[in-house]
Each structure stands twice: as structure tokens, then as C-alpha cells.
Amino acid sequence: VTHLVASVLIDFLRAAVEAQVQVDAIGQGAIFALMAVGIGLVFGVLRLVNFAYGQLIMAGAFALAFASDKDWPVWAGIVLCFAVVLALSTAMERVVFRPLRTQSPAVMLVATFAVAFLLQSVALVLDTRDNTIGQPAASLASLNRPWVIWGTDVRKITVVAIVTAALCLVALVLFLGRTSVGLQMRAAAMDFQTARLLGVRANRVIGSAVFLSGVLAAVVAVMLTVQQPLVTSTFALKETIVVLAGVVVGGMNRLLSATLGGFAIGYASGLLGGALPTAQSQYLPSFLFGLVILILIVRPAGLFAGRRGPVERV
Amino acid sequence: MRDIRTGVQLGGPAALVLGAMALGSLASRSTEIYFINALIAVSVVVAIYVFVGNSGVVSFGHISFVAVGAWAAGVLVVPVADKPATMPYLFGPLQDAHVGNVPSLLIAAAVGCVFALVAGLPLMRLSGLAAGIATFAVLEITNNILRYYEKVGPGLNVFSSVPETTDILQAGIAALAVIVVAFAYQHSRFGRQLRATREDAAAARAVGISVYRQRLIAFGLSGGLAGLAGGLYVHLLPLNVDFVYLDLTFITLAMLVVGGMTSLWGAVVGALAVSGLDSLLAEAENGLSIAGVTIDLPAGSRLVVVGVLMAAVLIIRPGGLTGGRELSLPRSRRRGAATTEGTRS
């Protein structure tokens, strides 16, 4: 048995260091990091884990599929995607999160779970009206073609994902660090009550956080539809569950650690997906979530959560 | 007076189950299945309640105990002669093993309990968000392994040639048994200690309660009850691994939340109310006519309505339909909640 485990491990490591696997894993990590930021931003101000985040992305993907079905130009599809996702995330905040703001975390968690399944079942009803499951969103499909660099297939979308993620993160850091609303959001994430006493408007801060996380969801929707052009009602569901686990594993209390957690789990799942032998690759979720449990037991506060010192939460 | 109050707390849920059993046995064959489903749902939701309600820790993982219960019972009751055809890759000992209906249910409960205890050993150290995500991870892993590991079951295929023995009587008796166990637990010292940790973990620790041990006991117990419900499911219909996954997790959590997370009464009311509504909507999806008006809902709108209901209940009544309180006689309220043990103040 030891011999078998060792040989599997060696095969895995040999496959994992290949440039192809690494590039794909980093690309997946970049997209997951963006989703982690979207979840982490809302958690910072609301202390709410948004299970329905994936359904925002799914809605955006349906908007893109709708636009490509109607033969709209690509930019119009992307505009529609942003409009739908932002409207939906704002509505979600107004109708569900705002009334529940004072409730216990358990109630809020279950509430977002309910919203997630509500949106998913709405999508299923809309999706299956024409008796086909899934709509293709083909607008940006050309990005799926690879560039060959030193014998490695680098799909254009991988580069786009990494660059977009980097740009979004820089913009976000500037926003949080240099603007008044950003400062207020950081203050609210640190201590909501005190921030309110000092004149931070709760609704405005929460509204901006929800808006920003909606923008990120729309960006992710555009990029995910390039990789998986068939949009179904469970679009982005698996990814969201994995990212949620990653965010908690990274550490929810700071945006940075949450983002790193999202990147790490995307990278790990890309690595496992690319390097596991075929016989084991169907057990990828088990490996991934086993790792999640393991890390949570060792570091329940989060892998990247700072141990001591001044805590900056957003 | 206290005895009456305690009796009402057990009698109320039990009476509801008996009522559902009576209605179900009067109903036609095609309607009876809805009642059987509702009664099994009571078992699942009460099982989840034993842990979630008493500990205050949300678990998304209980359906994995239902799943292993279903797998254990399903693999063991299929006649030995049918196994090579339906489950060709089973482990040797499992291929030759065969038990009857009732033993298979007991084994399902035992397997669910052991699995929950083993999973709980590390997981119960966690609380809050980390616990929620970790239980979700258990669900994902269980689903993934049952889906592809064909040495322990049919993999992606449905459980065929399982004798369909779950009827209204079995489902009802099981629901009653689960309710009695849950009631006995929450009135035992273990249950009370766990409820103390729910209200204030620090204070509970200060009086010498081990949060970890109490949560583990409840987790194991509720895993056993959930396993039993899984056994009932596999005897009811040919199910596959997707049946015991996210949709069932959602609908059972919805039942618990709609009823009221912190009381046995809430769990039973929620399970029966949502099941009833769900059955009505399922009929409506096939075209239902009430008093000459035909309602024909598009397929899948069932979950939409349940989702709206769950969100609405959370927003309007965060405590659920019962407010998370046990059933009490109208007069006993006057004596003040402070003396009513076992109810949530």
C-alpha cells in the first residue's frame, strides 16, 4: 500500500510541475480569487456569507446567453450582463439582507441559502421552457483559443482572467484605500456599531459593498461563460461552493486572507484536476474538501488569518 | 401541571404524525405516497433538529447521513441473486450479505450514527461559519464517493430491486420513534446541557459543560436518526445519489426554518406544512383542478414557491411559524415563561 501511495504521489507531483497544469491552475485561481473578493466584501460589512453569490453569476451568464441568442454585439451582451447582475444583487440586499441585518448569523446564512435555491429554481423554470436544458453563450468564444508559448497551450482567457483579476484587485485596493466610501467600508468591517456612531451611513456602506460584489460577479460571469459556454441553472454552483470553502479556509475576517483563500483553492483544484491520474480524478471533490476539513481543524480561524497585531479586516 | 405541559410537548407532535398517518391510510394509492414522503420528511427534519436546534450550529451535512443510511440498507436488502446484475463491483462480503426489512433499517440507523460520530470527532471542534462549511464539505465528499465508488453501492445508477416495503405504517412508526427519541434527548441532561451551550457557550463552559462532547453526542444521535430515514427512503422508491444531495438538503432545511429551528414542535410542523404545500404544488404541476378551476404550473415551480416561502418566513417571522417554541396550552402561558423548562425564552 505504501508503495502504491508513493508511486501515485510521485506521478502526481511530476504532472503537477508541468507548465501546462500550472498555467491552468493559476488561471482558475485568478477567477476564484475574484469570486472570493465578491463574497468577502459583503461579509466584511454584513457578517453574511452569501450562498447566493453563484446565482448572481448564473443570472449574468443567462443574460449573456440571451444576448448571443438574439445576435446582439458582444459589448451589448456584456452591458446587459452587468445590468442584470447589479439589479439582482441590489434587489437581494434590499428585500432579504436588509430586513435580516439584526438576525443571528445562522438565520442569515440559511436566508441566503434560500435565495440561492429560489434563484436557481426560477432559472430552471425559465431554462426548460423551450424543452432544452442550457443555453449557449458564444459571444466571447474566440478567447477560448490558445496561444502556444514554449510548447505550452495558454488559452487567451487564462491570460485575460489573470490580468482582469489583477486589475480588479488593484482598483479595489485603491478604492478602499483612497476614497471616502472605501475608508467607511473598512471602518464598518472593523466595527460596524462604532463606525455608525462616528457617522458612517449603514445603508450607503452596505449598498456600495453589495454593488462592488455585484460588479465582480458580472466580471466572473463573462469569464466563466467563455470557459463553459453552456449556461444551465446550476451554472457556477460548484464553483461557488468551492470558493465559499476557500474563503472560510483562507480566513473570513480580512479581505486579503479571504482572497488568498479563494485563489489557493482555485489553484489547488486546478492542480488536482490537471495532475491527478484519470482513475482518481473523479474523486477530485473528495480530495479538495478533505483538504478543506483538514485545514479548518488545524487553523479554524483561517489559513492566512493574521495571528496577532492590528487587524485590518477589509 | 408540569407533567401536562411536558405531555403536550410530546403529544402535540405525535398527534400531528398520527393525524397524517390516518389521513394517508384513508387516501387513494396515488395520494398516499405524498403522506409517506411527508412522514419520512418528519424523520429527517427532526433528526436535523436534534443537532441544529439544540446546538444552534447550522449543519448542511445531515443529508450525507441520510445517504449512507440509504446505501447501507439498500445494499443489504437487495436479494443476493440480483446483486451481480445491479451492483456488479460490490465488495465480496457485501455481495453475499442479505438482511430483512426491519434489520436493514436498524443497520441504516447504526451506520448513520457511526458515520456521524466519526465525522463529528474532528468537526465538532469547530463552530460558527467554519462548522457550517465543514459540514458542507462532508456532504460533498460523501456524495462524491457514493457517486463513483461502486464497491459500496450502485454508483450513479438507481437502487433497483430493493423491496418497496416502506408504507404509511412504517413511515409513521419511524417518525413517531424519531420524535420520541428527540423528545427524550432534549429532556435528558445531555440535551439540556447542549441547549445551555447554544444560549451562551462561555457561560456553559464556566459551569463545567464540555461543548465539544455535548455537540458530538447530539451529532451522533441525529446522524443515527437521519440514517434511519435514509433506510426508509431506499425502501420507498428507487433512488440514486442525486436524490440525497443539494435539493434534499435545501428542502429539509427549509422545513426546519419554516417551522422554527429551535423546537421539536417547529420541526414537525415545518416538515408537515412544507411537505403538504410541496405535494399540492407537485399535483398542480401535473394540472390540478379545484372546484372547476384548473391550475397548471410549469415544471419546477414547486421549488420556486418553497424558496419564496422560506425567504418570506425568515423575513417576516425569523423564528419560524412556531416562533421556535414548543407547543403549550394557552393557559400555561400566564404562569410565565421562566418556569417553563424546555421552551426557549
B134-145 per-position pLDDT tens digit: 999 999 999 999
B226-282 per-position pLDDT tens digit: 999 999 999 998 888 989 998 899 889 888 988 888 899 999 999 999 999 888 888
Q: Does B92 touch chain A (CB under 8 A)?
A: no
Note whether B298 contacts A129, CB cutoff 8 Å. Answer: yes
B141: distance to nearest CA of chain A, Å?
Answer: 5
User: What confidence category does residue B180 fall into, taking pLDDT thresholds of 50, 70 and 90?
Assistant: very high
Residue A25 half-sphere exposure toward CB, CA atoms < 13 A: 20
Nearest residue to B272 via CA among B6, B9, B8, B34:
B34
Q: Does A94 touch chain B (CB under 8 A)?
A: no
Note whether A290 contacts B299, CB cutoff 8 Å. Answer: no
Mean pLDDT, chain B, as a whole number? 87
Note whether B133 contacts A245, CB cutoff 8 Å. Answer: yes
Asked if the model's pLDDT at residue A77 lies above 70, the reply is yes
B148-172 per-position pLDDT tens digit: 988 888 888 888 888 888 889 999 9
pTM exceeds cut of 0.90: no
Note whether B140 contacts A285, CB cutoff 8 Å. Answer: yes
Note whether A245 contacts B310, CB cutoff 8 Å. Answer: no
User: What confidence category does residue A228 fall into, taking pLDDT thresholds of 50, 70 and 90?
Assistant: confident
User: What confidence category does residue A309 fall into, taking pLDDT thresholds of 50, 70 and 90?
Assistant: very low
Note whether A247 and A40 are within 8 A (CB): yes
Note whether B311 contacts A114, CB cutoff 8 Å. Answer: yes
Interface test with A, best of B136, B314, B344 (most A CBs within 10 A): B314
Q: Which A residues in the span 248-307 are in contact with B, Cβ-Cβ below 8 Å?
A: 248-249, 252, 282-286, 289-290, 292-293, 296-297, 300
ipTM: 0.85
pLDDT at B290: 65
Of these ranges, A174-183, B63-72, B285-294, the one predicted with the greatest mean pLDDT is B63-72
Q: Does B138 touch chain A (CB under 8 A)?
A: yes
Q: Is residue A117 classed as helix, strand or coil in its secondary structure?
A: helix
Note whether B134 contacts A49, CB cutoff 8 Å. Answer: no
Note whether B311 contacts A111, CB cutoff 8 Å. Answer: yes
pLDDT at B278: 87
Q: Does B323 touch chain A (CB under 8 A)?
A: no
Interface test with B, best of A101, A238, A244, A296 (most B CBs within 10 A): A296
Q: Does B201 touch chain A (CB under 8 A)?
A: no
Of these ranges, A293-307, B9-23, B91-105, the one predicted with the greatest mean pLDDT is B9-23
Q: Which residues of A touch B121 (CB under 8 A)?
A: none
Q: Is residue A148 classed as helix, strand or coil in its secondary structure?
A: strand
HEC states along chain B?
A: CHHHHHHHHHHHHHHHHHHHHHHHHHCCHHHHHHHHHHHHHHHHHHHHHHHHHHHCCCCCCHHHHHHHHHHHHHHHHCCHHHHHHHCCCCCHHHHHCCCCHHHHHHHHHHHHHHHHHHHHHHHCCCCHHHHHHHHHHHHHHHHHHHHHCCCCCCCCCCCCCCCCCCCHHHHHHHHHHHHHHHHHHHHCHHHHHHHHHHHCHHHHHHCCCCHHHHHHHHHHHHHHHHHHHHHHHHHHCCCCCCCCCHHHHHHHHHHHHHHCCCCHHHHHHHHHHHHHHHHHHHHHHCCEEECCEEECCCCCHHHHHHHHHHHHHHHHCCCCCCCCCCCCCHHHHHHCHHHCCCCCC
Note whether A304 and A260 are within 8 A (CB): yes
pLDDT at A308: 44
Compute the distance between CA of residue B235 and CA of residue B164 in angstroms, rounded to an integer: 5
Is the model more confident about B277 or about A46?
A: B277
B299-344 per-position pLDDT tens digit: 677 778 888 888 888 888 888 888 878 887 765 444 444 444 444 4
Nearest to B307 among A95, A107, A117 (CB): A117
A185-221 per-position pLDDT tens digit: 888 887 888 888 888 888 888 888 899 999 999 999 9
Share of chain A above pLDDT 90, in %: 22
Cell triple for A136: 449557449
Q: Does A124 touch chain B (CB under 8 A)?
A: yes
For chains A and B, CB pairs below 8 A equal 128
